[in-house]
Chain A
Amino acid sequence: MSVVAAPGAMAPRESRLVPRLLIGAAVALSMIFVVVPMAFIFSRAFAAGWQAFSQNILSPDTLHAIYLTMLVAVIVVPLNIAFGIAAAWVVARFSFPGRKTLLTLIEIPFSISPIIAGICYLLLYGRQGLLGPYLLANDVQILFALPGIVLVTMFVTSPFVMREVLPLMQAQGSEQEQAALTLGASGWQVFRRVTLPNIRWALLYGAILCGARAIGEFGGVSVVSGNIRGQTNTLPLQIDLLFHDLNVAGSFAAATTLTLLALVVLIGKTIMESRRA
Chain B
Amino acid sequence: MKSRIFAAAIALSLAGPVLAQDKILNVSYDVARELFEAINPEFAAKWKADTGRDVTIDQSHGGSSKQARSILEGLGADVVTFNQVTDIDVLADGGLVDPNWRDAFGNNASPYYSLPAFLVRKDNPKGIEDWDDLVAEGVQVVFPNPKTSGNARYTYLAAYAYALDANAGDQAKAQEFVKALFANVPVFDQGGRASTVTFAEKGIGDVLITFEAETGGIAKEYADQGFVRVTPSLSLYSEFPVAIVAENAKKAGSEEVSKAYLDFLYAPEGQKILAAHFYRVHDEAAKAEFAANFPEVKLVNVDDVFGGWDQIRTEHFAEGAILDQVFVNQ
Contacts and interface: CB of A to CB of B under 8 A. Distances in A.
Interface string A127-141: 111001000100001
B73 A126 contact: yes
B41 to A, nearest CB: 14
A230 interface: yes
A129 B7 CA distance: 40
Contacts of B218: 246
B196 interface: yes
B62 interface: yes
Contacts of A246: 193, 196-197, 200, 218, 221
A54 interface: yes
A127 B72 contact: yes
A54 B4 contact: yes
Interface stretch (A14-22, A58-66, A175-183): A58-66
A126 B75 CA distance: 9
A141 B5 contact: no
Interface stretch (A74-82, A166-174, A221-229): A221-229
Contact of B60 (A122, A143, A228): A228
Interface string A116-156: 00000010011111001000100001011000000000000
A244 interface: yes
A244 B11 contact: no
Interface string B186-203: 000000011011001100
B73 A122 contact: yes
B297 interface: no
Given A144-B74, A144-B76, A227-B61, A244 B15 contact: no
B58 A227 contact: no
Contacts of B11: 60, 63-64
B74 A229 contact: no
A40 interface: no
Contacts of A241: 61
B167 interface: no
Interface string B31-45: 001100000000000
A244 B197 contact: yes
A128 B34 CA distance: 32
B58 A136 contact: no
B23 to A, nearest CB: 11
B68 to A, nearest CB: 12
A142 B30 CA distance: 24
A246 B12 CA distance: 25
A143 B305 CA distance: 41
A229 B73 contact: no
27 contacts: A54-B1, A58-B4, A58-B7, A58-B8, A60-B8, A63-B11, A63-B12, A64-B12, A67-B12, A128-B73, A129-B73, A136-B74, A144-B70, A144-B76, A226-B60, A226-B70, A227-B62, A228-B25, A229-B60, A229-B61, A230-B15, A231-B15, A241-B61, A243-B197, A244-B194, A245-B34, A246-B221
Given A122-B73, A246-B218, 20 more contacts: A54-B4, A58-B4, A60-B8, A63-B8, A63-B12, A125-B74, A129-B73, A132-B74, A143-B75, A144-B74, A144-B76, A228-B59, A228-B60, A229-B59, A229-B61, A230-B15, A241-B61, A244-B194, A246-B196, A246-B200
Interface of A: 54, 58, 60, 63-64, 67, 122, 125-129, 132, 136, 141, 143-144, 226-231, 241, 243-246, 248
Which 10 interchain pairs have the tightest Cβ spacing? Answer: A126-B73, A127-B74, A60-B11, A226-B75, A144-B75, A244-B193, A227-B60, A228-B60, A229-B59, A64-B15
